[in-house]
Structure 1
Amino acid sequence: MQALTTLEKGIQRSAREFAVGEFERELLSHMRKEQVWPDGLFRQAAELGLIGVNLPESLDGGGLGMAARAVVLETFAAIDSTAAFALASGTFGAEVISRFASEALQTRVLPGLALGVARCSLALYEAPVQSLPLILSATAERVEGGWLLSGEKRRVWGGINANWFLVGCVSESEPVILFCVDASYDGISVAPEPCRMGLEMVKTATVHLNRVMVPDDACLGDDATLKCLWSGHWIDVAALALGVGRGAMDRALAYVRKRSQFGKPIGAFRITRQKVARLSGKLELARLATRRAAELFDLGKADEAASALARISATKAAVAVSDEAIQLLGGYGYMTEYDVERSLRDAKTLELLGGERSLLEEILADRELGKRRR
């Protein structure tokens, strides 16, 4: 496990300077209320190299990896978790395209993502609730010159304005095949879904596929590709959750340092200090798990169990820290101006991304006990 490199520390400083300077409170509040995706911020961050930091340098990316991306996402989320998730969501799954797509497809897709002029969305789920393993009815039919895709995908984050979809389908020969699909292809229609709690800037959508013809090189692969996608996605979610927790902690610390009771700051009382110590420990352990998963991913050893552990520990820590931050602020914790109530809402939403916790825990159980006999 390595500490942040000099380059990563520089990226961390750049991400923080950008977030502090550009995440305008009133503007972001309006965007959350109206469910407006921060297109301007996405482009600005991309121009600074903060969006495509993990994509190939030859295709306008930063040429680094998931460890560097995790640093950026955590830093953004500590300043504003909702905006950070929105910026991250525009390139969910891009690392899989850079690893498994043909050179021609990478050239069509990745520069636009890295430069902030295009977006990619995960179109995987078909049930109202995200679950693992995927239960799919969307089909991929092999035809001359490519594939015909048919079916319906739900809970597609950012699907309304996506330029590319990563679509999971079943075929006669494979339980799951992953495709990178141009959103402008004939036969694709997108419908917005109802509002929900948390991460309000990014709308979810239902994507309908009506015999969508895609070329051969749209096929990225089967089970191995999907496992890599999950591993990278869980690292993204873990990094965002760490930022949510860190932001809630910072706001709580600022409050307990200045709020006085019985003639001294409440941060001086043992019970408060013990709470802070426990919460800090939860975040640090989750950060170590996330760092390890990202390092394995960058070594080409994407480990589902390591990424699942990072996602579980980070989201649990974010929920616990955000909940306790509300308690530390007392009545102020429920006021929107103090932001910790939003940290809890965003943390709870992140806890559901990429599958429910109990299902991810099965991956850890498989590692220790072997796969369960059905």
Structure 2
Amino acid sequence: MNFDLSQEQQMIKNTIREFADEVVAPGAIERDRTKEFPLEIFKQLADMGIMGLPFPEEYGGAGADTISFAIVTEELSRACASTGITYSAHISLGGAPLNLFGTHEQKEKYLTPICTGESFGAFGLTEPNAGSDAGGTQTTAKEDGKDFIINGSKAFITNASHAKHLALTAITGMNGDKKEISAIIVPTDAEGFTVLDNYEKMGLNASNTTELFLENVRVPQENLLGGRGKGFQQFLVTLDGGRIGIGAMAVGIAQAAFEKAKSYANERKQFGKALSEFQVTQFKLADMALKIELARNMVYKASWLKDQGRPFSKEAAMCKLYASEIAMEVADQAIQIHGGYGYMREYEVERFMRDAKLLEIGEGTSEVQRMVISRLIG
């Protein structure tokens, strides 16, 4: 059992850490305030070949592994979680379904622009009445000659304002009283397709979270992604990979909160000595370090299993659940160590908590992860 990163993985880590510290972190507070999408950062990541990192070189990707993707997501999230979630969704929700289920022609047409950074990756799953119960999908795609005509709406969709196309789930028929759900690739500039970026969010303010409205949107049936009626199974597989991304994000946020707390504890004097000299603070920091290390190992294990082509659904759910919950816990303790200053925006730790909360909700709530795990250990 080898816990060392490969030479390539270590090189990616060193490169992206330096980029995160020098390019991503300096504007994070301002982006949180202004909600400005970090477009320039992603142009630079595209130039570095990071936007298609785990996808085949044939389609403009870098052919790297899932652990490398997790490393990049963690490091970006450590500097700015809005940048981290944009990247994670771009890869794991936008590019992955196309790579997993697309035909060669579909990959050439739709995956390549995602890999090169010409388009952001996005995935239309959640609806106003279908969150954790994704089977509650109401969007429909009805056949009309060689086309589908799509009607419905989607909610909480990441990156759609900057995506030229996305895969979305829709009902393509009924088998008795059971919905036949399929995935269809839809260009975002199609007539009748509206993307609205109007949400007022608690955190991750510089990420793009949208509503989608589809009114008689016509796409050719050749845009069907994977087999007809396979959409439900496909998005379950997609979410498994996405959960690794959420876990990596959570580790990054927790690491950032820990580093801020440790630095502050070394500098802040109370009762004549540094906070870090008090055992109560030492124990807090020790617990934070322990939980971050455990979470990172869980993310890497799920990533490794995925790369080996082995089942990883249980481990993905576990790493997402544990990492997201410890990210909230570590951010909370970082604020506590900062005392009154932790409540102030300029010290950043309050942002980590606001950003971390989404990770207990998105891509399957903590409650859903426990349901998934309980089924897989039963």
- The normalised TM-score by structure 1 is 0.92
SS in 1 for 2:351: helix
Equivalent position of 1:41 in the other structure: 41
Q: After superposing the two structures, state which structure 1 stretch, 28-37 or 252-261, moved more.
A: 28-37
Give the letter aligned to residue 138 of structure 2: S
Please state whether the residue corresponding to 1:140 is helix, strand or coil.
strand
Residues 231 and 302, structure 1, Cα contact 8 Å, conserved in 2: no
In the other structure, the counterpart of 2:96 is: 95
CA contact (8 A) 2:67 2:300 kept: yes
The alignment partner of 1:324 has SS state of: helix
1:50 positional shift: 2.1
Deviation larger for 135-144 or 308-317: 135-144
Tell me the secondary structure at the aligned position of residue 375 of structure 2.
helix
Q: Is the 8 A contact 2:125 2:134 kept in 1?
A: no
* Secondary structure of the corresponding residue to residue 225 of structure 1: helix
CA offset at residue 128 of structure 1? 6.5
Matched, 1:325 2:330: no
For 2:30 and 2:12, how far apart are their aligned partners in 1? 28
The 1:24/1:360 distance shift into structure 2, 3 A limit, reads: closer
Residue equivalent to 2:208: 203
Aligned to 2:254: 245
CA contact (8 A) 2:248 2:299 kept: yes
Alignment partner, residue 138 of structure 1: 139
- Looking at structure 2, the residues matched to 18 and 129 of structure 1 have their Cα atoms a distance apart, in angstroms, of 38
SS of corresponding position for 1:353: coil
Aligned partner of 1:234: which letter? R
Determine helix, strand or coil for the equivalent of 1:74. helix
- 2:74 and 2:249 in contact (8 A); partners too: yes
State the match for 2:282 in structure 1. Answer: 273
**SS, match of residue 122 in structure 2:** strand
Question: Does the CA-based 8 Å contact 1:153-1:208 persist in structure 2?
Answer: yes
Deviation at 1:72, TM superposition (A): 0.4
Deviation readout 1:294-347 (Å, 9 max, x if unpaired)? 122223335322211111011001000000000011111112111110000000
Q: Is the 8 A contact 1:124 1:168 kept in 2?
A: yes
Supply the distance in 2 between the matched residues of 1:34 and 1:270 (Cα, whole angstroms).
39
In the other structure, the counterpart of 1:218 is 223
**Stretch moving more, 46-55 or 313-322:** 46-55
Q: Which residue of 1 aligns with 2:107?
A: 106
Change (3 A) 1:301 1:169: farther
8 Å CA contact 1:120–1:166 kept in 2: the answer is no
- Which residue in 2 is equivalent to 1:372? none
Alpha carbons 2:160, 2:208 under 8 Å: kept: yes
Which blocks of at least 5 consecutive residues in structure 1 are unaligned? 370-374
Distance 1:128 1:196 in 2: 19
2:297 corresponding residue in structure 1? 288
Asked whether the 8 Å contact 2:54–2:62 carries over to 1, the reply is yes
Is the CA contact (8 Å cut-off) linking 1:132 and 1:356 kept in structure 2? no
- Distance across 1 between alignment mates of 2:249 and 2:65: 16
Distance, in Å, in 2 between the alignment partners of 1:130 and 1:2 is 39
In structure 2, the residue matched to 1:60 is 60
Structure 1 partner of 2:30: 30
C-alpha distance after superposition, 1:256-311 (max 9, x if no partner): 12222334322122221211121212111211221121122223335322211111
DSSP 3-state at the match of 2:310? coil
Contact 1:55 1:62 in 2 (8 A): yes
C-alpha contact (below 8 Å) 1:191/1:205 kept by paired residues: yes
**Distance in structure 2 (CA, Å) of the matches to 1:171 and 1:128:** 18
Does structure 2 retain, via aligned residues, the 8 Å contact 1:93–1:229? Answer: no
User: What 5-or-longer segments of structure 2 have no aligned partner?
Assistant: none
Percentage identity across paired residues of the two chains: 26
The letter of the residue matching 2:94 is: G
TM-score (norm 2): 0.91
| Number of aligned residues | 368
Structure 1 residues 321 and 24, CA, compared in 2 at 3 Å: closer, same or farther?
closer
SS at match of 1:71: helix
Q: For 1:259, which of 241, 252, 268 is the aligned residue? A: 268
- Aligned AA for 1:93? G
Deviates more, 1:287-296 or 1:87-96: 87-96
* TM-aligned CA distance change 1:107 to 1:302, over 3 Å: farther
Q: In 1, Cα distance between the equivalents of 2:65 and 2:149?
A: 33
Contact 2:264 2:338 in 1 (8 A): yes
* 2:63 partner SS: coil
Aligned: 1:182 with 2:187: yes
> Per-residue deviation at 1:80?
2.1
Distance 2:210 2:377 in 1: 37
Look up the SS of the partner of 1:194 in the other structure.
Answer: coil
Instruction: Give the SS at the match of 1:61.
Output: coil
Q: CA deviation at 1:90?
A: 3.5
